[in-house]
Amino acid sequence: MKKRLLILEDGTVFNGQAFGSERASQGEVVFTTGMTGYQETLSDPSFYGQIVTFTYPLIGNYGINRDDFESITPAIRGMVCRELAKEPSNFRCDLSLNDYLESQDIPGIEGIDTRKLTKIIRSKGAVKAMLTAADEEVNIDEAVATLQATPLITNHVKEVSPKAAYPSPGRGKRVVLMDFGMKHGILRELNKRDCDVLVVPYNTSAQQILAWHPDGIMLSNGPGDPADVTEGIETIRNLIGKVPIFGICLGHQLFALASGAKSFKLPFGHRGANHPVKDLRTGRTELTSQNHGYAVDENSLANTDLEITHVALNDGTIEGLRHKKHPVFTVQYHPEASPGPEDSNHLFDEFIELMESHVKEGKQHA
């Protein structure tokens, strides 16, 4: 097999075997702890610009199928695993993971100590990294200097949000879905409830959205620092109090910023399908799917109209918010669970109920 290097900005070098595309790539290296669901993970737009490390040792054993994508075009910069399955076995398998990454021009590396890499990320935080081209001779010192001098990208949402609005018709509640890098699982859950959905770009104005007379607004997940998405923050600020809103992941963070709160970057993020979250309203603990590198700063909520509804049991960070005066609630995790447990799927039903009660009270947007 062809050789490949994974070089970190601190000078650490991992030697492994190349798979997928033969080209070189550069990005922020992160890790995810999911034991299954690699297809959904690789196609999650929230990983835009990142090299994804899988902590589970064997990846690719059931191949790639036509049904489990979370976006049409994967946004990752590269993939890292301990061992790549060469001969997948599953009745739904259409092609191997290697063939899929090759077709999408995404490089991968296997055969490295992913435990060591994960420990580095946990101790130093997500770091910039480079995957070399297959069998390419590289000057390590020059590569490290390049990594250290290259700033992280800030245009994440602009790159993964659609350029124009498009419908996903239904006969139920009319929902405008602001797409900041949406996983298709969110759209599937709304369609399952017969919502009449209009998906719009991240920079759509509140005036344009309200002109469609929606029953509710859905704020999707997405990649990057929420503070960079100034257009989305402004739109959400002008929508609060006009119509019911439900936000997920980046949508949760943008709602918090639009309400006067602040966000901060987590040391190594929450990425995986096994994160316990406590619902403070019921006392119930749910296992959740998560993929985010930022969180809402609890200390910044003091002068806002926000209250905490959910907390992460691993580190105590905020996992859910609601507005004290207006029909808005958000969660940091993924209730559509693609991949992951379905403990929190009921939140989509709560959103439907919120829209229905808003209509009964005669408060729908005119």
Catalytic residue among 270, 323, 334, 358: 334
Q: How far apart are CA 176 and CA 195, in angstroms?
A: 10
Torsion of CA 120, 44, 332, 349, to 10 degrees: -150
CB 366 within 8 A of CB 65: no
- The residues near 271 (Cβ < 8 Å, ≥ 6 apart) are 30, 31, 32, 33, 34, 290, 291, 292
Judge whether 81 counts as a catalytic residue.
Answer: no
Q: Which residues pair with 285 in a beta bridge?
A: 278
- The question of whether 336 is a catalytic residue gets the answer yes
- Catalytic residue at 270? no
HSE toward the beta carbon, residue 117, CA cutoff 13 A: 35
The Cβ-side half-sphere exposure at 51, using a 13 Å CA radius, reads 28
Catalytic residue among 40, 110, 319, 336: 336
Catalytic residue among 40, 110, 184, 249: 249
Give the 3-state secondary structure percentages of the chain, helix then strand then coil, rounded to 5: 25, 30, 45
Residues marked as catalytic = 249, 334, 336
